[in-house]
């Protein structure tokens, strides 16, 4: 969510933090390459989606590059800018869905769930939040896929971000299906299918998280140089 809010605003915020840490070590420093600190999903030409380098002699004219880090956009920015940003919308649905889904995790605690003696109480406090939250996950995963695609109908097979969204979409379907089947959990067969849905849905989310973990390791290219040395390694070494 914070990444979506600060898209193209801070200029490799994460690398700036690492630069401070490495300067404290006194051995190695990082030097940001001008024009490369762009959102990685903007580059759809390679699997990892590293920032796209500007042509030699050109500089970025994007006025947002000079703005500072922000925790939350203004209401005006929400209405005029972020409401049209697919990454921001995807993160918003993800956060909303996770917040509602959290209700089911809370009511699943034995001291609480055991007090939900009626079917209506179980459906409203336990199963329904899973359906609503899972639906938010489905919308979020779909939007994350669309964010990486050149056209809405063309899958971006060569972009890791697309695969992350796809696995999250499948996981969201599993979680939603679990909640929907839970309404008929009085039937042992339906209860089994509900448990199975949340099982394979969880595995899909795990796969998506592992891919996202790998994707986040090297989003932006940098130059790495030893202090006191004029030799500079090529971007992307760090």
Of 128, 130, 149, the C-alpha closest to 138 is 130
The predicted-structure confidence for 97-154, as pLDDT tens digits, reads as follows: 999 999 999 999 999 999 999 999 999 999 999 999 999 999 999 999 999 999 999 9
pLDDT higher than threshold 50 for residue 190:
yes
The whole-number pLDDT of residue 211 equals 93
CA distance 194 to 170: 15
Q: Are strands 28-32 and 222-226 parallel, antiparallel or unpaired?
A: antiparallel
Segments in 26-154 forming alpha helices (H): 75-80, 86-107, 110-113, 119-122, 128-148
pLDDT classification of 61: cutoffs 50, 70, 90: very low
Give the DSSP letter of residue 58: -
CB atoms within 10 A of CB 87: 21
Domain residue extents for the chain: 1-60+72-84+220-238, 86-216
The predicted-structure confidence for 201-237, as pLDDT tens digits, reads as follows: 999 999 999 999 988 876 554 444 555 544 444 444 4
């Amino acid at each position: 969510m914070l990444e979506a809010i600060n898209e193209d605003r801070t200029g490799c915020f994460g690398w700036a933090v690492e630069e401070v840490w490495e300067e404290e070590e006194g051995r190695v420093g990082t030097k940001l390459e001008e024009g490369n600190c762009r959102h990685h999903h903007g580059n759809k030409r390679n699997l990892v989606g590293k920032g796209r380098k500007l042509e030699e002699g050109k500089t970025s004219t994007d006025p947002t590059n000079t703005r500072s880090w922000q925790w939350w956009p203004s209401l005006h920015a929400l209405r005029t800018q972020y409401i049209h940003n697919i990454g921001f919308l995807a993160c918003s649905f993800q956060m909303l869905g996770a917040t509602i889904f959290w209700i089911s995790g809370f009511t699943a605690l034995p001291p609480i769930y055991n007090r939900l003696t009626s079917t209506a109480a179980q459906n409203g406090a336990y199963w329904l939040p899973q359906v609503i939250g899972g639906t938010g996950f489905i919308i979020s995963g779909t939007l994350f896929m669309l964010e990486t695609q050149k056209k809405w109908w063309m899958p971006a097979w060569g972009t890791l971000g697309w695969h992350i969204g796809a696995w999250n979409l499948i996981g969201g379907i599993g979680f939603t299906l679990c909640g929907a089947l839970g309404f008929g959990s009085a039937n042992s067969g339906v209860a089994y299918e509900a448990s199975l849905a949340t099982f394979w849905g969880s595995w899909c989310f795990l796969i998506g998280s592992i891919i996202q973990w790998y994707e986040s390791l090297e989003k932006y290219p940098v130059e790495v140089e030893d202090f006191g040395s004029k030799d500079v390694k090529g971007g992307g070494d760090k």
